[in-house]
């Protein structure tokens, strides 16, 4: 039996979102302005960005293009609780959106634009993989380093960490 693309993606997203939320839960609000280097994002900015990333897949499934010039921009979160609420809402919404599409939809292309300027055009499969999953995993890695530098216990992600045994 072949698993549909949206079912497989939904399962992978569920797993990766669970791992990501475990890191976001550990961020102390009082450290939101902290950054490891002047060229690095502040901790709160990074957390907000991660919480918003999942929304890109849902946004891409709403039509053939999204114009950032007319789309509302999410405001930066001001607390860990707010980051987690936004992350949870975006996570729930993407699972609902995935239930409404079929495999053929994932072959359709989507464009992100700012007015007349096309920023990127790619199939929904690439949006899911590159703009959402890979991008989230990349920033999750950054976030785990931020936590380590702040001496906050890093949860197990893929296997154990120096602070925690792997989850079963």
Query: So where are the chain's domains?
Result: 5-149
Give the model's pLDDT for residue 168: 65
Give the model's pLDDT for residue 104: 85
Give the model's pLDDT for residue 8: 84
Give the model's pLDDT for residue 2: 63
- pTM value? 0.89
Give the model's pLDDT for residue 167: 73
Give the model's pLDDT for residue 89: 94
User: Hey, how many other C-beta atoms are within 10 angstroms of the C-beta on 150?
Assistant: 14
Q: Are 120 and 107 in contact (CB under 8 A)?
A: no
Give the model's pLDDT for residue 10: 84
Note the CATH number of domain 5-149: 1.20.120.450
Q: Are 133 and 15 in contact (CB under 8 A)?
A: no
Q: What six digits make up the tokens of 35?
A: 């950054």
What does the pLDDT profile of the chain (168 residues) look like in tens digits?
Answer: 667 888 888 888 999 999 999 999 999 999 999 999 999 999 999 999 999 988 888 888 888 898 999 888 887 889 999 999 999 999 999 888 888 888 888 888 999 999 999 999 999 888 888 888 999 999 999 999 999 999 999 998 988 888 888 776
Give me the DSSP letters along the chain. Answer: -PPPHHHHHHHHHHHHHHHHHHHHTT--GGGTT--SSTTSPPHHHHHHHHHHHTHHHHHHTTSSEEETTTSPPPPPP-SHHHHHHHHHHHHHHHHHHHHT--GGGGGSEEEEEETTEEEEEEEHHHIIIIIIIIHHHHHHHHHHHHHHHTTPPPPPBSB--SSSPPP-
């Amino acid at each position: 039996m072949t698993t549909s693309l949206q079912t497989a993606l939904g399962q992978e997203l569920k797993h990766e979102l669970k791992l990501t939320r475990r890191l976001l839960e550990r961020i102390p609000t009082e450290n939101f302005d902290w950054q490891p280097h002047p060229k690095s994002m502040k901790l709160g900015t990074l957390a907000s960005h991660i919480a918003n990333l999942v929304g890109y897949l849902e946004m891409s499934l709403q039509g053939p293009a999204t114009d950032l010039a007319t789309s509302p921009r999410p405001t930066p979160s001001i607390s860990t609780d707010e980051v987690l609420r936004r992350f949870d809402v975006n996570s729930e919404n993407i699972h609902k959106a995935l239930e409404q599409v079929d495999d053929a939809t994932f072959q359709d292309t989507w464009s992100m634009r700012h007015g007349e300027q096309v920023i990127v055009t790619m199939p929904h499969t690439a949006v899911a993989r590159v703009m959402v999953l890979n991008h989230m995993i990349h920033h999750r890695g950054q976030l785990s380093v931020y936590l380590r530098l702040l001496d906050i216990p890093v949860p197990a992600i893929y296997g154990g960490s120096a602070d925690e045994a792997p989850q079963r």
